[in-house]
């Protein structure tokens, strides 16, 4: 940069004249040079990235020009300011302002750059690390906070503000806020662990230890939202979600959900006939999965019935109630049609002798 300033200064010495005119010429030349050079660089980079199979490098080329353009422009403006006859105090304030603008421009670039890289890593086919589509919001927020913190420090440094006292005050204030908002901090920490450990994700059907069952609609830093089958939304703090037993019905090797239909038939019924009827009903139901296969199990000799159980699978846990309704209705109609008795509780009263009639 010093060599560039020396060359520009020697060129301006040849021009002579008003220093304000020289400053204007330098600013104009810097503007034109920044526009032309960044345009040429972008065109060259586009020709290079078109030969690659990646998509994120095309996005990087689109965002690289603005910070380079403003960097070259700010260098030219800084030289122009030094040429002017302004006093050192005014020049220092203008230079600090230009540096602050440059820092903000590069801060925006850093945030956009981080988002592109994080999305590229999260969307890769073999995504098995911490950065995955469901944990992407967490890392996006962390990258944004880090970029803002660094930019704030650099802007304070440009204006000559000592950050030591500010950091000490922030530390004391952080401790006080931590004690005052310990529940909120606990929710935030639990939210980070939920997003990284991923015991459930958006769209999963979960059952809480307290009995609530529903679909996860949002996983935030502070709370998790669940939509029940009654279309009632539950908002549960993450500190509770992190310390309770959660059954994820959509978890495991696949999202399919197993339905169990208990069926009781009267003693003396043909067990082979009962098995055939139940298997036929499961096979005729269009919402029952063909794989894994449906099956029938003879579970127990009940107090007044032979206890069977029809086991079948549906594609999603949300279909449990609908398919259970269809299967129960078909079972009842088929049993009636084929003469299979469904027992029910009944009591027989035996009277040993009639009481004598009073006189």
- Do the domain assignments include residue 33? yes
β-bridge mates for residue 264, sequence order: 307
| 41 and 84 assigned to the same domain | yes
In terms of domains, do 124 and 31 share one?
yes
pLDDT in tens, 309-358: 999 999 999 899 999 999 999 999 999 999 999 988 777 788 877 777 76
Verify that 67 and 11 share a domain, yes or no.
yes
Residue 310, domain CATH:
3.30.70.100
3-state secondary structure of 64: helix
Residues 334 and 212 in one domain: no
The distance from CA 51 to its chain's CA centroid, rounded to whole angstroms, is 32
Longest dimension (CA), the chain: 146
Please say if the pLDDT value at position 126 is more than 70: no
Co-location of 14 and 156 in the same domain: yes
Into how many domains does the chain fold? 3
* Percent of the chain at pLDDT exceeding 90: 36
Q: Do residues 269 and 144 both lie within one domain? A: no
Give the pLDDT score at 12: 56
Q: Are residues 146 and 279 both part of a single domain?
A: no
The predicted model scores a pTM of 0.56
pLDDT tens-place string over residues 252-265: 888 899 999 999 99
- Note whether 102 and 211 are same-domain residues: no
- The dihedral through the CA atoms of 149, 150, 154, 160 has a sign that is positive
Alpha-helical (H) ranges within the chain are 2-15, 19-49, 56-83, 88-122, 136-158, 163-180, 182-197, 238-241, 271-284, 320-338
Mean pLDDT of 88-111: 90
Position 177 scores a pLDDT of 65
Same-domain status, 10 and 147: yes
Confidence band for 11, pLDDT divided at 50, 70 and 90: low
**Confidence tier at 266 by pLDDT (50, 70, 90):** very high
Give residue 305's domain range. Answer: 257-338
Q: Are residues 63 and 104 in the same domain?
A: yes
The residues that bridge with 296 in the sheet, in sequence order, are 310
- More confident: 75 or 2: 75
Say which DSSP state 339 is in: T
Torsion on CA atoms 235, 238, 243, 246, rounded to nearest 10: 50
Report the pLDDT averaged over residues 96-111: 92
Cβ atoms of 332 and 287 within 8 Å: the answer is no
The answer on 130 and 99 residing in a single domain is yes
Radius of gyration of the chain (CA): 37
pLDDT grade for 17, boundaries at 50, 70 and 90: low
Residue 306 located in a structural domain? yes
Cα 286 to Cα 291: distance, rounded to the nearest angstrom: 12
In a domain, residue 180? The reply is no
C-alpha span between 83 and 24 (Å, rounded): 10
Q: Does residue 190 fall inside a structural domain? A: no
N-to-C CA span, the chain: 129
CA distance 86 to 9: 17
The per-residue pLDDT of the chain, averaged, comes to 84
Distance CA 73, CA 30 (A): 5
Query: Are residue 223 and residue 326 in the same domain, yes or no?
Result: no
**What pLDDT, on the 0 to 100 scale, is given for residue 16?**
56
Of all residues in the chain, what percent carry a pLDDT higher than 70?
A: 88
- Give the DSSP letter string of 196-258: HH-SS-TT-EEEETTS-EEEEEEE-SSEEEEEETTS-EEEEEHHHHTTS-EEETT-SSSS-EE
């Amino acid at each position: 940069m010093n060599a560039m300033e020396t060359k520009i200064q020697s060129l301006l010495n040849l021009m002579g004249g008003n220093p304000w005119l020289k400053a204007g010429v330098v600013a104009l030349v810097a503007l034109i040079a920044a526009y032309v050079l960044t345009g040429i660089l972008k065109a060259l980079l586009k020709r290079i990235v078109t030969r690659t199979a990646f998509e994120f490098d095309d996005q990087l080329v689109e965002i690289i020009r603005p910070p380079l353009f403003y960097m070259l422009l700010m260098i030219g403006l800084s030289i122009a300011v030094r040429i002017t006859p302004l006093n050192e105090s005014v020049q220092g304030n203008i230079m600090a302002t230009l540096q602050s603008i440059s820092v903000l421009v590069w801060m925006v670039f850093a945030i956009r750059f981080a988002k592109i890289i994080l999305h590229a890593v999260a969307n890769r086919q073999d995504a098995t690390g911490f950065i995955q589509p469901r944990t992407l919001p967490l890392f996006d927020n962390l990258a944004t906070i880090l970029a803002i913190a660094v930019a704030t420090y650099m802007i304070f440094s440009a204006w000559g503000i000592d950050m030591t006292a500010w950091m000490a005050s922030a530390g004391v204030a952080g401790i006080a806020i931590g004690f005052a908002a310990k529940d909120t901090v606990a929710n935030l920490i639990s939210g980070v662990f939920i997003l990284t450990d991923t015991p459930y994700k958006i769209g999963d059907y979960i059952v809480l230890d307290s009995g609530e069952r529903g679909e996860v609609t949002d996983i935030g830093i502070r709370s998790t939202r669940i939509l029940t089958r009654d279309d009632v939304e539950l908002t549960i703090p993450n500190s509770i979600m992190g310390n309770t037993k959660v059954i994820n019905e959509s978890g495991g090797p696949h999202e399919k959900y197993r339905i169990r239909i208990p069926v009781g038939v009267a003693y003396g019924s043909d067990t082979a006939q009962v098995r055939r009827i139940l298997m036929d009903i499961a096979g005729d139901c269009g919402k029952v999965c063909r794989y894994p296969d449906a099956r029938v199990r003879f579970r127990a000799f009940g107090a007044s019935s032979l206890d069977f159980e029809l086991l079948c699978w549906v594609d999603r846990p949300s279909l449990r109630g609908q398919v259970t309704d269809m299967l129960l209705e078909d079972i009842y109609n088929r049993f009636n049609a084929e003469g299979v008795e469904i027992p029910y509780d009944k009591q027989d009263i035996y009277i040993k002798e009639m009481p004598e009639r009073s006189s």
